[in-house]
Structures are given as structure tokens and as C-alpha cells.
Amino acid sequence: MNKKNIINSIFENIKTIIGALIIAIIIRSFIFQPFYIPSSSMEPTLLIGDRIFVSKYTYGFSKHSFPFSPNIFNERIFYKKPEQGDLVVFKTPADNRTDYIKRLIGLPGDEIQFIEGDIFINNKKILRKKINTSNLVRCGKFSFKVNAYEEILPNGAKHIAVYNEAGTLQNTKKFIVPENHFFLLGDNRDCSKDSRYLGSVSFVNLVGKAQIIFFSNDTVKGSLLKFWNLKNSFRFDRLFKKIK
């Protein structure tokens, strides 16, 4: 192969790589982005080791839709308002950089408060009923027994939330959700850093809506690098499971 052919081959390879990167960035920014679940704050809905796809187009697009959150605009385009019950990935208000995932509970203008362990939205208690399910969830390196409830939000959306059996958060101040902000909670209510501590989340900080679990590996039972143990750690029942 002569020098000209070598240069042409290198140039073609570079074009192919650049083209692939551009396509990957477009898909990641405008369609779907994969995320890894590193904590237990959303148990039992999401487990440590779940890998999920998040739709980027559901709520429109902001600077946080793009890699490194470039400061190109401070609003959302093609904005569609999220709904109560959505599982939302967002950038934390503290640094506008760290990705969290929580459940949307309060809309702009809502008043949220915990009273005697119950959640009140606009002075109305969220309906809930106790259910029989696995009553052990993780919290960091530990596990604790919980009471599990099916909660029904004002718009009819249902989800499972768990509360520490030994004692849960009883009472809080009244949180008033500002305009263009949302109040989000973890389903693992006593092991979640959420809007009770972070504050309400701006609509600009929304990254997307969690849609599906495409892979899940129990990191306690083994890492992906230990492929010989994958059959024991791989959660087959969560493969391509739709997120509710």
C-alpha cells in the first residue's frame, strides 16, 4: 500500500469515528441516555445495579440535555410539563451537575407536608394501602425492615413506597413548590436525599424520564468483571422491565 492510500485509509477511519461519535451524541442528547443506579434511595422500584434508559425528549430540552451541560440557554425548548408519579432524572440544585433520580410528587404551587408519617398535598392526605411484599431494603451498607404501601397521587398515579418499620420521618415543615419547580421524593422514604433536603428542582434541571431497565446486576453478589459468577448476580427478571 502506497503512502497516498495509507493517508486516505486513515482519513476514512477518522471520518467513520467522528460520524459515529456525532450519532452517539445526538442519540444521547435527544432520544435516550443510559444511567446506572448506584444507591438504594428508589428501592424497591429501582435496585442498586439497575441500568436504565431515560427518554430525553419527554420534557423537552435544556442545557442539561447535552454532555457537560453547556451554558447555551437557560430555558427549555419543546417543554412538556412532567406529571405526578413520573420517575425523573435531574441535576441537583446544589451543583447543577450531579444526576439524581426520584419520583415527582409535587407540582408548581403545591404545598407538601409530612404529618404523623403521612404525606399531605394541598392539605389532602395521599391515599395509601399497606401491601404484602418483601419487607427488607438496603440503605447504604445496611438493610432494614420496612412497611410497604401502594400510594395513590391526586392524578391517580400509583407507586410503591417503603417506610422504616423501626421508625420513620413523622413531621416536616410545609414545603411550597415555586413556579417552574417540582418536589421529588425517593420511594425508599427513610433512605433518600431528596426535595426534603435538597429543595425543589427547577424545570431547567430535568434531564429526562426513566422508562425501562435494560440490564441489572446485583453488585453484592458479584461484579460484571467476575463473569464466572454472572449467573448468580444477574437479575434475569429485571431484563427490559418497564419502569412504573
| Number of other CB atoms surrounding residue 98 within 10 Å | 10
Answer yes or no: are the C-beta atoms of 185 and 194 closer than 8 Å.
yes
| Number of other CB atoms surrounding residue 140 within 10 Å | 8
In the block, residue with C-alpha cell 400509583: 158
| Number of other CB atoms surrounding residue 15 within 10 Å | 10
* Catalytic (active site) residue 41: yes
* Catalytic (active site) residue 39: no
Q: Rg of the chain over CA atoms, in angstroms?
A: 21
Q: Which 3 state secondary structure label does DSSP give 121?
A: strand
Residue 215 CA: distances (Å) to CA of 37, 50, 138, 193, 221: 11, 6, 19, 25, 15
Shortest CA distance to 50 belongs to which of 87, 90, 92? 87
Exposure on the CB side of residue 158, measured as CA atoms within 13 A: 7
Catalytic choice (39, 40, 41, 200)? 41
Residues in the chain: 244
Shortest CA distance to 92 belongs to which of 101, 83, 84? 101
DSSP 156: S
Catalytic choice (56, 63, 102, 209)? 102
Number of H helices, E strands in the chain: 3, 16
Tell me the catalytic residues. 41, 102
